[in-house]
Structure 1
Amino acid sequence: MTGAARPVEAVVFDWGGTLTPWHEVDLPQQWRVFARTVHGLPVEDPDMPAEDLAEADSLAMRIHEAEDRAWRRGRETHESASIAAILDDAGVDPAHDRHHLALAAYQRFWEPHTHTDAQVRPLWESLRRKGIRVGVLSNTIWTRDYHREVFERDGVLDLLDADVYSSEIHVVKPHPDAFRAVCRRSEERR
């Protein structure tokens, strides 16, 4: 290697399990919560009619399988996905009158697993004091707005210089275009 080392200008973090503590999550349950809400079924009601429960569970399984296909494509071809695309693949009608309620129930399911680690704010403040920009690059199906709401809730959004979510670009990490996207966004904040 020749030449002088360049100073660090930015640090880019992953989100889930890096900025948030890692959790074991029952992934099929996220879609059972969504599907039962779409069908107007209380999530934990033991007196649910069997045919209603079977219909909701069938929808949950279709969504789970669609999500699994999406993540498999991400691993194999680096193709990104979004929650909207996954639900569409599973045949979910976004115009259904309970669709937004189901999305809200889905987000409530995930809420305990989204809290930013308490050490993030002091770390990011330290980086900013040193003139180092802070970025996030996450493989996710969730929207930019959802992630930014989480960062706002947890009091760290003001320290974020650049954030890119695979749901808003055509690829997932480790594809170079994902890293280029967050670098471009970081450069825009210089």
Structure 2
Amino acid sequence: MTVEYVIFDWAGTLTPWHTVDLPGIWQETAASLDGVGAREAPEVGERLLRAEAELMARCRETQCSARLDEVFERAGVTPTPRALSAYQQAWEAHTLIDPQAPETLEGLRERGLGIGVLSNTLWPADWHDEIFERDGVLGHVDATVYSSEVAWTKPHPDIFAAMVAKLGAVSAGACAFVGDRAFEDVYGAQQAGMRTILVPHSSIPEQELGTRDAMPDAVVRTLKDVLTVVDDWNRPER
């Protein structure tokens, strides 16, 4: 079947992998919470870090989604605008899009292909829209599905089905999925009936590795190489 839609993972794929100081981010966030003084901030930061780790483990083990506000709720604190702003600012340097992403998305658009983004995330959809708007690619994305907005995480088949429906694809077989993780992205998309392209950009922490491995239909070194793979798949048989 011809590839009519290309769906991208976000973190580690459209945005390159970064080693993130999660304890430091949560310490900055805790220090910005109303009513939390310098003496209390380290302990509150530890609670937030622990809550996030527990929720992310739940997502991996049960494929049941979680949201950022659940992290604060589990840690027993109320997120304030100032604290959320500090959290976003601490993450900003790790959200910059891959330099090849704009050219890749433009190339897919020139080929008449639909483009989706499907990502496991705690963050609300509008935060991701702001990131894509900042980096000049929001207009190239036709549809998005974020786990924070639905009940599941990748590799659950229902989150891939939600992406197919949102794109308006006839079937999952008309879609190719591009991601950096063998379990969530390759295994999940293949189980859903999609072709897969692995971009092995990420140094995935051992505790985040999935329980199943999978062989992608194609492996590329850079995002721009996605265009070559899709062109090859869509080339008329001679």
* TM-score interval, normalised by the smaller of the two chains: 0.7 to 0.9
Distance 1:40 1:109, change over 3 A: farther
Which amino acid in the other structure matches residue 149 of structure 1?
A: E
Q: Which amino acid aligns with 1:112?
A: A
SS at match of 2:38: helix
1:83 Cα offset (Å): 0.4
Hey, what does 1:16 align to over in structure 2?
Answer: 11
Partner of 1:47: none
Q: Which runs of 5+ in 1 are unaligned?
A: 1-5, 42-51
3-state DSSP of counterpart to 2:153? coil
- Counterparts of 1:106-121 in structure 2, within 5 Å, are 106-121=87-102
Among 23, 30, 40, the alignment partner of 1:35 is 30
Q: Which residue in the other structure is 1:91 paired with?
A: 76
* Alpha-carbon contact 1:12-1:134 (below 8 Å) kept: yes
After TM superposition, give the deviation of residue 154 of structure 1 in Å. Answer: 0.4
Q: Which residue of 1 aligns with 2:82?
A: 101
Alignment partners' CA distance in 2, 1:36 and 1:54:
9
Task: Confirm or deny that 1:149 pairs with 2:144.
Answer: no
Q: Does 1:158 align with 2:139?
A: yes
8 Å Cα contact 1:39-1:56 kept in structure 2? no
CA distance in 2, matches of 1:30, 1:55: 16
SS in 2 for 1:38: coil
AA matched with 2:72: L
Q: Residue type matched to 1:8 in 2?
A: V
Report the equivalent of 1:56. 41
TM-score when scaled to structure 1?
Answer: 0.85
Q: CA offset at residue 54 of structure 1?
A: 3.6
TM-superposed deviation, 1:57: 0.9
Q: C-alpha separation between the residues in 2 aligned to 1:183 and 1:166?
A: 14
- TM-score (normalizing by structure 2): 0.68
The letter of the residue matching 2:82 is L
